[in-house]
Amino acid sequence: MGRWLFDEFEVARRTFEEASDALSIDLKKLCFEGPEDELQKTENTQPAILTTSVVYFRCLHEIIDLVPLAAAGHSIGEYAALVTASVISFDSAVRAVRERGLAMQRAVPLGLGGMSAILNLDEHEVRSFCLWATQESQLGLIEAANFNTPGQTVISGVQATLDWAQANWSIYNGPGCDKKMRWIPLKVSAPFHCSLMKPAQERMKVVLDDIPFRQPQWSIIQNFTAKETIDPEELRQNLVQQVSGAVQWTESVRRATHLGATKGLELGHGQVLRGLNKKIDPNFETLNVQTIADLQALEKQIHKQKDL
């Protein structure tokens, strides 16, 4: 995660050191060498994703004048969006997301919660199915957690209910029952972005209330509302609500295009958002940088557009 930038940019090396100092762990070693089981613990995964995303932004910012129309991040990525827009300091954000990971894991004992991706159902159909499964199974709640694309939603909740719902789809007789639904269990350590995360949300309110929030350099489209804002207190409160609230990614991308955005730039490890965004709006091009060649191509494209 971010190794190639660490090798090429001094600002990347400083950023990894800054994160390591804030957490009193060797985050660089964890990101580059693992072990994988330690990196997959959510209290480590969240700071690693945040740090890598900020590294990408800082490296690009050194060679390209990045002034976005608006910024957004998917789940933990929203913290990176806030850091890059100078809303909260990087060291505060790193400590906050580590606490977020610990609070989320404590909220539900390991193994009792889970998440699954549902394909080929729309938002209304997924919500109806989750409500039906929760009521019929009597095993505990499941809810929509991530509205990733018009045909891909992640649901979250009690693992026993998820198992029951997957096994009993054939007897469901509600909106979307006539569609060929695909079910993909996800490898996660907790049921994120559902009501089971309320204890973690309460903890994060305390954590975030102690962090100064400043007005952003550009608008932030937030997960909880799928609307842009520059108000520091609104940013804080929506970030708190995000812990147990669904990630409204589909509507966030649509909001960006409504504001006039025609291209997006995904900053971080992997290309997940690029794939999601293409399914939301094929005309909204998402650029991605994973290699030196990608970086050089992006720099050339941006300079070319500025010369027009």
Which residues carry out catalysis?
75, 193
User: Angle, nearest 10°, between helix axes 198-209 and 232-241?
Assistant: 150
Stated as kind and residue range, the H or E segment containing 265 is strand 263-266
Please tell me the distance from the alpha carbon of residue 262 to that of residue 68, in angstroms, as a whole number. 11
Q: Do residues 250 and 233 lie in contact, with contact meaning Cβ atoms separated by under 8 Å?
A: no
Neighbours of 70 (CB within 10 A): 21
Q: Do residues 19 and 79 lie in contact, with contact meaning Cβ atoms separated by under 8 Å?
A: no
Phi and psi at residue 224, in whole multiples of 5°? -70, -35
Lookup: tokens for 306: 């500025």
Which segments within 48-181 are labelled E, that is strand?
70-71, 113-119, 142-149, 152-158
Q: Which of 208, 207, 194, 173 is nearest to 243 (CA)?
A: 194
* One-letter amino acid for residue 65 of the chain: D
The 3 state secondary structure assigned to 112-133 is CEEEEEEECCCHHHHHHHHHHH
How far is Cα of residue 121 from the mean position of the Cα atoms in its chain?
21
Please tell me the distance from the alpha carbon of residue 290 to that of residue 82, in angstroms, as a whole number. 22
Lookup: tokens for 18: 């800054």
Lookup: tokens for 258: 């409504």
